[in-house]
Chains A and B, each alone.
Chain A
Amino acid sequence: MNTGKNLDALKLVLANAPLGSKNQQTKDNAFHLTLKVLLSIKPPQIEEAVSQLSPELLDVVMKYVYKGFEYPSDGSSGHLLLWHEKIYNQGGMGCIVRVLSDTRRA
């Protein structure tokens, strides 16, 4: 991230997301890190970032977007809404349904 490779960082955190983990501390850490990456990507780049994700990772990033809505910080929700819009355009309703139905939460 420090070298500006935000897209690579995003793929990395999503691919290693501890969704099935029982350890709440690990999950919290992963959530804060993922949120940091999501917020670091500038609005014009979001569409490009989303287009590079596989369907599996789209589901994962959507989970973190909703989790981000759950614990808002200053200005984060507006940014996440942009993410939500772009992910929805690509993944459709199914993506949201999978956030709701899934037992492995972010």
Chain B
Amino acid sequence: MSVQYRFGTTIAPITCHAWNKNKNQIAISPNNQEVHIYEKSGSEWKIIDNLSQHDLRVLGIDWAPNTNRIVTCSADRNAYVWNQDSNKKWKPTLVLLRINRAATCVKWSPDENKFAVGSGARLVSVCYFESENDWWVSKHIKKPLRSTVTTLDWHPNNSLLVVGSTDFKVRVFSAHIKDIEKNPEPTPWGSKTTLGTLLAEFSNSGGSSGGGWVQSVSFSPDGNKICWVAHDSTINVADASTGNATFKLRTEFLPFMSCTWITNNSIVAAGHSCIPVLFHHTENGLVYSAKLDTSQKKESGGLSAMKMFHSLDKQARSESSDTSIHSIHQNAITCICLYSGTKSNCMKFSTSGLDGLLVIWDINSLERAIQGLKII
């Protein structure tokens, strides 16, 4: 149903992870300034490279599947694009982000000719390769961002960007670079294509609730809907094809930190509750579907001497109290990535979190195992 992996001997948190095209290699950051590349051999993961160019904690990694390039960004305000040389070693190229705060998140565009970096400098840098200077340069989207950008995602048409930030707002911008690409087709979000045009703005507060900052955003596979999760434990969907109608669901869970669409109507979100949760969006609104982790609490096998010393050693207590929780992940999940399939038809997805565990979830077998679960 789900496969669990651990990398190396450490149990450090995994800040974020990204897969290569064949899914036999993974880039993870063990909560420090390094990015480790692991390759699968048999059932083991072997470290094959260590990307250590950043000075401070890495906050975002994205691996472009077709052009096979990695982009990383970090709290040291820099981003690097990594290319493989003839010896299969990764070599960095510095990107001119022109920011004075940490770079918090990064994503390649679907065509992989540009990427966007969000930062604490209240702006988004849209970066592209300038061949005459042999250099990655950036253009800024500044207005009307009022606070740190925490998350972003690309529209499938390679030109729109959705941005979530700590000013409790979600915004859709045009991120079209006219120097390197031709005009895109108009979408329900609007027809203006100038870089930085604000096409839609949604507030995560309103009514009786003051809301919370935005943790993660995702464009639906057809590009007409966005979903976001925020620190007030809500999940929200906005639909451009029905006049930007928004749906908000106040959940009973702890706040979610990451979300993604797995079909055009289904969303998986995960976060501080340590379990991935499935939601459906239809014309009638946004509804909770199921928890995707059905683990039961392990049977405790009485008090043995071994156990007593174990707990004495680990927690300096002689009575053995079971502190594990009823889920596979034992700490908050910070990152969800698609493992096989696309957003319109995802078969497997992977989650990583503060417990240093990476779990791959198989949606088909989950659908069979969990009663009443249906992916629409």
Contact across chains for A19 and B210 when beta carbons are under 8 A apart: yes
CB-CB under 8 A from A95, the residues of chain B are: 250, 252
Partner of B253, one of A19, A20, A94: A94
CB-CB under 8 A from A55, the residues of chain B are: 250
Contact across chains for B212 and A92 when beta carbons are under 8 A apart: no
Q: Which of A41-73 contact B (CB under 8 A)?
A: 55-57, 59-60
Partner of B254, one of A56, A91, A94: A94
Distance, CA A104 to CA B168, complexed state (A) = 13
Residue of B nearest to A104 (CB): B210
CB-CB under 8 A from A17, the residues of chain B are: 208
Contact across chains for A97 and B233 when beta carbons are under 8 A apart: yes
Partner of A104, one of B208, B234, B250, B251: B208
Contact across chains for B252 and A102 when beta carbons are under 8 A apart: no
Distance, CA A94 to CA B277, complexed state (A) = 14
Residue of A nearest to B230 (CB): A101
A-B contact pairs, 6 of them (CB 8 A): A59-B250, A92-B252, A93-B254, A94-B233, A94-B254, A97-B232
> Which secondary structure dominates chain A's binding surface?
helix
Chain B residues in the interface with A (C-beta under 8 A) = 168, 205, 207-213, 231-234, 250-255, 273
> Nearest Cβ in chain B — how far from A34, in angstroms?
13
Contact across chains for A101 and B250 when beta carbons are under 8 A apart: no
Pick from B252, B255, B273 the residue with the most CB of A within 10 Å: B252
Distance, CA A20 to CA B209, complexed state (A) = 9
Contact across chains for A60 and B208 when beta carbons are under 8 A apart: yes
Contact across chains for B253 and A93 when beta carbons are under 8 A apart: yes
Contact across chains for B231 and A97 when beta carbons are under 8 A apart: yes
- Ranked 10 nearest A-B pairs via Cβ: A92-B252, A94-B233, A104-B210, A103-B210, A101-B212, A102-B210, A97-B233, A101-B232, A94-B252, A98-B232
Contact across chains for B209 and A97 when beta carbons are under 8 A apart: no
Residue-by-residue, is A74-105 near B (CB-CB < 8 Å gives 1, otherwise 0)? 00000000000000000111110110011111
Contact across chains for A102 and B253 when beta carbons are under 8 A apart: no
Distance, CA A19 to CA B252, complexed state (A) = 22
CB-CB under 8 A from B213, the residues of chain A are: 101
Contact across chains for A56 and B250 when beta carbons are under 8 A apart: yes
Given contacts A56-B209, A93-B273, contact A102 B254 (CB under 8 A): no
CB-CB under 8 A from B168, the residues of chain A are: 103
Distance, CA A91 to CA B210, complexed state (A) = 17
CB-CB under 8 A from A97, the residues of chain B are: 212, 231-233, 254-255
Distance, CA A19 to CA B211, complexed state (A) = 12
Contact across chains for B250 and A102 when beta carbons are under 8 A apart: no
> Nearest Cβ in chain B — how far from A56, in angstroms?
6
CB-CB under 8 A from A19, the residues of chain B are: 208, 210
Residue of B nearest to A60 (CB): B208
Partner of B211, one of A56, A60, A102, A105: A102
> Nearest Cβ in chain A — how far from B188, in angstroms?
29
Residue of B nearest to A63 (CB): B208
Contact across chains for B233 and A98 when beta carbons are under 8 A apart: yes
Distance, CA A60 to CA B207, complexed state (A) = 11
Partner of B251, one of A20, A94, A102, A103: A94
